[in-house]
């Protein structure tokens, strides 16, 4: 628990004000724990109420989304947009469409986004949104009607200089396209109000690949600097089989690793010969099918029901790229006893606090989400820049900028941890480095009356 009376008091306030929001409380607690030495060294933070301000969203918008299904029946979902912090730039963060979405999930994601966006070094604030709508099993027409209804309300609260949403779980190119079309119709303006757009209407090359590639660039740098090692010759397990997992698989393979497992929310595949990514892309990106279909198309591959078994596969590097809290203490211990040397989080908060503790005390290199998966939002910010300039960079230009950003994030986190006597603790380092810039901007901008 907290040493600092100030942090203890702020955290109790967060608990009292957000009862039962377990994901949000988990995320806040993790960040505040890392900030102990920063708060102790900087009395101005308490004097100016920086911590109690940073844990409270600037604005939260919850709204009804009604739409008509293919049978002519009216359906109602709940929409969310949490505009958490705009100290260093317009709110920026994805839209998650998944039945598990609620205020706690969106607030944990929005809170994390503040520090992640700051770490990229680009001028973007933190926000997040989404709905409990499930695109799975819906027709294109149903998804379109939902997205149009969702944007009809959301359009009142966003804008290219105010708040720029993007994709996340369940929100891919199709959903962004429908939402963008609706925004343009309503506002009669062609601006970079969403990122992850298609290439024919303002999207950035390499945005699709960015989060997965970025996780691997970060991991490669972490391996190089902390273990004088690399992906070459390593066995890699990746969870999920969505946008992040697919492009992490592509880059890890390109860097010389062998990815042997992927999953979805029903189960996982194990292919000891190395995942054939063209087969996965066909199933997931073209057919929108289930991952178990892979074993019907590739000899020697196995399918297992259930998700957590994936962490019992022996590997050197684990990249969780599905969802929050997918690695618990037991899964972490299974990975450790099988000799894992590095874990980097592609998903947001995929490791429970007990799992992180287990990795760190076993000396496993641990790259936290807000650093390791920041490549997606960084490239979204590059998309915003290109939209403002009415210009497009080549794939190679964007990819090179992404790589530089990921390498800088690793070093800034490493250095921040070292500065406060926690060398090698990349979790604390990412929280501190992300926080310092935002806190500085908040101090400079004063308290609003």
Catalytic residues: 128
Near ligand NDP in 309-368, by CB under 6 A: 321-323, 346-348
Q: Which of 79, 110, 170, 257 binds ligand NDP (CB under 6 A)?
A: 170
Verify binding: residue 203, ligand NDP, rule CB under 6 A.
no
**In terms of CB distance, is 4 or 83 closer to ligand NDP?**
83
Tell whether residue 131 is a contact of ligand NDP (CB under 6 A). Answer: no
Write each residue from 59 to 78 as x if it is in contact with ligand NDP (CB under 6 A), else as -, in one continuous string: --------------------
Q: Going residue by residue from 232 to 261, which x/- string records binding to ligand NDP, judged by CB under 6 A?
A: --------xxxxxx----------------
- Across the beta sheet with 59-68, the strand order is 59-68, 74-85, 125-131, 91-97, 163-166
**Partners of 311 in the β-ladder:** none
Assess 219 for contact with ligand NDP (CB under 6 A).
no
Q: Which of 112, 220, 264, 316 is in the footprint of ligand NDP by CB under 6 A?
A: 264
Least Å distance, CB 352 to ligand NDP, is: 14
Residue nearest to ligand NDP (CB): 242
45/374 with CB nearer ligand NDP: 374
Q: Measured from the CB of residue 43, what is the shortest distance to ligand NDP in angstroms?
A: 35
| Rounded alpha-carbon distances, angstroms, from residue 440 to 45, 72, 158 | 9, 53, 25
Q: Report how far residue 89's alpha carbon sits from residue 444's, in angstroms, rounded to the nearest whole number.
A: 14
Residue 96 or 258: the one with the smaller Cβ distance to ligand NDP is 96
Residue 117 in contact with ligand NDP, rule: CB under 6 A? no
Among 27, 51, 307, 433, binds ligand NDP (CB under 6 A): 307
Does position 214 bind ligand NDP by CB under 6 A? Answer: no
Residues sharing a CB contact under 8 Å with residue 57, sequence separation 6 or more, in sequence order:
82, 83, 84, 85, 107, 110
CA–CA distance, 176 with 386 (Å, rounded to integer): 18
Minimum Å distance from CB 120 to ligand NDP? 11
Q: Considering the rule CB under 6 A, would residue 112 count as an interface residue with ligand NDP?
A: no
Q: Which stretch binds ligand NDP (CB under 6 A): 74-82, 164-172, 268-276, 388-396?
A: 164-172
Rank residues 15 and 328 by Cβ distance to ligand NDP and give the closer one: 328
Binding residue (CB under 6 A) for ligand NDP from 373, 386, 387, 431: 373
Binding site for ligand NDP (CB under 6 A): 167-170, 211, 240-245, 264-266, 307, 321-323, 346-348, 373, 376
């Amino acid at each position: 628990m907290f040493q600092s009376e100030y942090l203890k008091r702020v955290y109790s306030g967060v608990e009292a004000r957000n009862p039962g929001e377990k994901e949000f409380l988990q995320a806040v607690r993790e960040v505040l724990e890392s900030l102990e030495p920063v708060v102790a060294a900087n009395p101005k933070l308490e004097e100016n109420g920086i911590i109690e301000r940073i844990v409270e969203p600037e604005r939260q918008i919850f709204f009804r989304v009604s739409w008509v299904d293919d049978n002519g029946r009216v359906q109602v979902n709940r929409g969310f947009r949490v505009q958490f912090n705009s100290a260093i730039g317009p709110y920026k963060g994805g839209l998650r469409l998944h039945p598990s979405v609620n205020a706690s999930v969106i607030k944990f994601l929005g809170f994390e986004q503040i520090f992640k966006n700051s770490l990229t070094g680009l001028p973007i604030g933190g926000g997040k949104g989404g709905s409990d709508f499930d695109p799975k099993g819906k027709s294109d027409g149903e998804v379109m009607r939902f997205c149009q209804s969702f944007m009809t309300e959301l359009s009142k609260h966003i804008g290219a200089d105010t708040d720029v949403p993007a994709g996340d779980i369940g929100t891919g190119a199709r959903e962004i396209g429908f939402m963008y079309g609706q925004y343009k119709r309503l506002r009669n303006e062609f601006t970079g109000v969403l990122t992850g757009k298609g290439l024919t209407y303002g999207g950035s090359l390499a945005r699709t690949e960015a989060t997965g590639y970025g996780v691997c660039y970060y991991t490669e740098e972490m391996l190089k600097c902390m273990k004088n090692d690399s992906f070459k010759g390593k066995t890699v397990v990746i969870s999920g089989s969505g946008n992040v997992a697919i492009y992490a698989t592509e880059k890890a393979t390109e860097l010389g690793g062998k990815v042997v497992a992927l999953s979805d929310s029903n189960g996982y595949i194990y292919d000891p010969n190395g995942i054939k990514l063209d087969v996965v892309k066909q199933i997931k990106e073209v057919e929108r099918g289930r991952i178990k279909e892979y074993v019907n198309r590739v000899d020697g591959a196995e399918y297992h029901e259930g998700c957590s078994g994936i962490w019992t596969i022996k590997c050197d590097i684990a990249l969780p790229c599905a969802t929050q809290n997918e690695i618990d203490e037991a899964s972490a211990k299974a990975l450790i006893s099988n000799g894992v040397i590095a874990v980097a989080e592609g998903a947001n908060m995929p490791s429970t606090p007990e799992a992180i503790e287990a990795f760190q005390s076993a000396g496993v290199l641990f790259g936290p989400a807000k650093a390791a998966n920041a490549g997606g939002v960084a490239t979204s910010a590059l998309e915003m820049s290109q939209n403002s300039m009415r210009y497009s960079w080549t794939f190679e230009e964007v990819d090179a900028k992404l790589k530089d950003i990921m390498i800088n994030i690793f070093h800034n986190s490493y250095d921040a941890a070292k500065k406060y006597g926690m060398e090698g603790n990349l979790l604390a380092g990412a929280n501190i480095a992300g926080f310092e810039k935002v806190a500085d901007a908040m101090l400079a901008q004063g308290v609003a009356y």
